[in-house]
Amino acid sequence: MFKISYMEKENISHRIKQLRTRLGYNQEQLGKAVGVSHVTISQWESEATTPKAKYLTSLSKSLKVSLEYLLHGIDKNVEQGPDLRGTVPLISWIQAGKWLETEVREMAGDYQQYATTANVGPRGFALRVLGDSMTSFTGGKTIPEGSIVVVDPDIAVTSGKVVVARLDGSGESTLKQYIEDGGQKYLKPFNPTYPIMQVNGNCTIIGVVRQVIQEF
């Protein structure tokens, strides 16, 4: 079991607040990612209380640092470039459909981690693109099959953004451009050979794509 000394208590409180601020999270967002209330996060940061051992792993993952760094301010194994914001778990499309459920996110440490320069929230994740529905063969934006998309569930969706969405009655998610036009909502592929789907009230937006990574 992890035990936090008096000196580490001071440091861990400072590190939680510093890392949360650096990543652009508010206390409520971090609390949701860890599975505690924003009041608990405030107490940790103000040194009123210290994190219990059962929260340390999810806390370090949400803050995108190692457990060693969170506890002691030292990380001997990780050397990140100046633009690297952290890592996100690479999950499946079926898992993405359930990603907003806390118990699913708690398994994130079991997945391959992808480094990202995108500033994403604590519930961020990555997906490998399947199929060519988002491949444009006429120029403009394109997300080819095999690309990695980094997705943030913690930002508001607006028309024109590329999103990961789950259609009602389906356990699997889809990648499309979200469009609002004339009071109607649509999921639009970049590939014109695929149909545009009208989605007024029959889908859940899982998150907004913040970065596309192409591997060669």
pLDDT reported for residue 85: 62
DSSP state of 38: H
Model pLDDT for residues 74-109, shown as the tens digit of each residue = 765 544 443 556 778 899 998 888 888 766 566 555
CA distances from 156 to 103, 161, 163, 208 (A): 23, 10, 11, 8
Question: Taking the domains of the chain in order of start, what are their residue ranges?
Answer: 6-72, 86-213
Question: Rounded to an integer, what distance in angstroms lies between the CA atom of residue 97 and that of residue 204?
Answer: 9
DSSP state of 194: S
* Nearby residues of 86 by Cβ (< 8 Å), 6 or more positions away: 23, 64, 65, 115, 116, 120
Contact 17, 47 (CB under 8 A): no
Same fold, 6-72 and 86-213: no
From the CB of residue 214, how many other CB atoms can be counted at a distance below 10 Å?
A: 11
The answer to pTM > 0.85 is no
* Nearby residues of 58 by Cβ (< 8 Å), 6 or more positions away: 33, 34, 35, 106
DSSP state of 109: G
In CATH terms, the fold of domain 6-72 is 434 Repressor (Amino-terminal Domain) (1.10.260)
Confidence band for 9, pLDDT divided at 50, 70 and 90: very low
Model pLDDT for residues 146-161, shown as the tens digit of each residue = 999 999 999 999 999 9
Model pLDDT for residues 13-70, shown as the tens digit of each residue = 888 988 888 887 889 989 999 999 999 999 999 888 888 888 888 898 888 888 878 8
Model pLDDT for residues 103-128, shown as the tens digit of each residue = 656 655 567 777 788 888 888 999 99
User: The tokens of 156 are what?
Assistant: 């508001």
Whose structure tokens read 């690479």? Answer: 90
Amino acid occupying residue 61: K
Pairing state between β 125-128 and 184-188: unpaired
The CATH architecture of the domain made up of 86-213 is: Ribbon (2.10)
C-alpha dihedral sign at 110, 165, 171, 192: negative
Radius of gyration for the chain, computed over Cα atoms and rounded to the nearest angstrom: 19
